[in-house]
């Protein structure tokens, strides 16, 4: 069902919520106006926002950021964990740029779901969804080459962390929206897509950091002050 107009009609939201409450839980896909899709197990209205229930938690988005909600027969699989060669590229790029590899992996998971051939509606490309101008500036010759893309994206993330004095949330906001909106407000700008992006990456990072040591890898030079709160 497509939602028309600038806003997400309250009656439509309430109708969807009542429908969700009347039938057993099933997988559904929430499609945002920015083209991003989220698999949800349920949702509920909270004022002018929707609380989307995910397999590993929940996220709150403005109601008018939702384009449509689609039923589906089965849950999509979780993002495929990085294969050993990709994991090596992540760790090497993280070490070269003084990053936590779990943070780098979290950015990749949210940006592309580990798909090296991903292309967004805005023409961002590859694992770390680099824009053509950014790729050129960073010297990424083949944006669909996993190693080059990760190396370029890691360099850019390092630049943003330095620019914002190691404030991870601001760096992530600038990675998503560009430095301009962040510089104007000196905070995560009130852009629904950007706020959702920062929340998703931070949740991924927290989940990876909190895994048992045997099930994850950590960059030994990561400092406590850089870990998610």
Residues annotated as catalytic are 111
H helix or E strand, kind and range, residue 16: helix 10-22
Contact of 113 with 79, CB cutoff 8 Å: yes
Alpha-carbon distance of 219 to 214, in angstroms, equals 14
CA 166: distance to chain centroid?
19
* Contact of 205 with 102, CB cutoff 8 Å: yes
Q: Identify whether the C-beta of residue 70 lies closer than 8 Å to the C-beta of residue 31.
A: yes
Contacts 24+ apart (CB under 8 A), 34-41: 34/65, 34/121, 34/192, 34/193, 35/120, 35/121, 36/193, 36/196, 39/72, 39/75, 39/76, 41/75
Token pair, residue 17, equals 């919520």
């Amino acid at each position: 069902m497509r939602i028309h107009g600038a806003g997400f009609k309250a009656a439509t939201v309430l109708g969807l919520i009542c429908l969700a409450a009347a039938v057993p839980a099933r997988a559904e896909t929430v499609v945002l106006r920015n083209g991003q899709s989220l698999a949800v197990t349920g949702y509920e209205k909270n004022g002018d926002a929707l609380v989307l229930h995910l397999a590993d938690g929940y996220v709150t988005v403005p109601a008018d950021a939702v384009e449509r909600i689609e039923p589906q027969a089965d849950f999509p699989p979780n993002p495929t964990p990085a294969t050993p060669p990709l994991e090596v590229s992540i760790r090497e790029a993280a070490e070269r740029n003084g990053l936590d590899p779990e943070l780098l992996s979290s950015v990749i998971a949210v940006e592309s779901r580990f798909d090296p051939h991903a292309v967004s509606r805005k023409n961002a490309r590859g694992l770390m969804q680099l824009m053509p101008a950014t790729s050129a500036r960073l010297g990424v010759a083949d944006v669909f080459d996993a190693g080059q893309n990760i190396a370029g994206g890691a360099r850019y993330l390092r630049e943003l962390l330095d620019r914002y004095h190691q404030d991870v949330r601001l760096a992530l906001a600038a990675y998503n929206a560009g430095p301009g909106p962040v510089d104007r407000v000196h905070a995560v700008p009130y852009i629904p897509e950007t706020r959702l992006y920062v929340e998703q990456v931070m949740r991924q990072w927290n989940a990876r950091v909190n895994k048992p040591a045997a099930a994850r890898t950590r960059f030994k030079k990561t400092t406590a002050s850089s870990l998610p709160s």
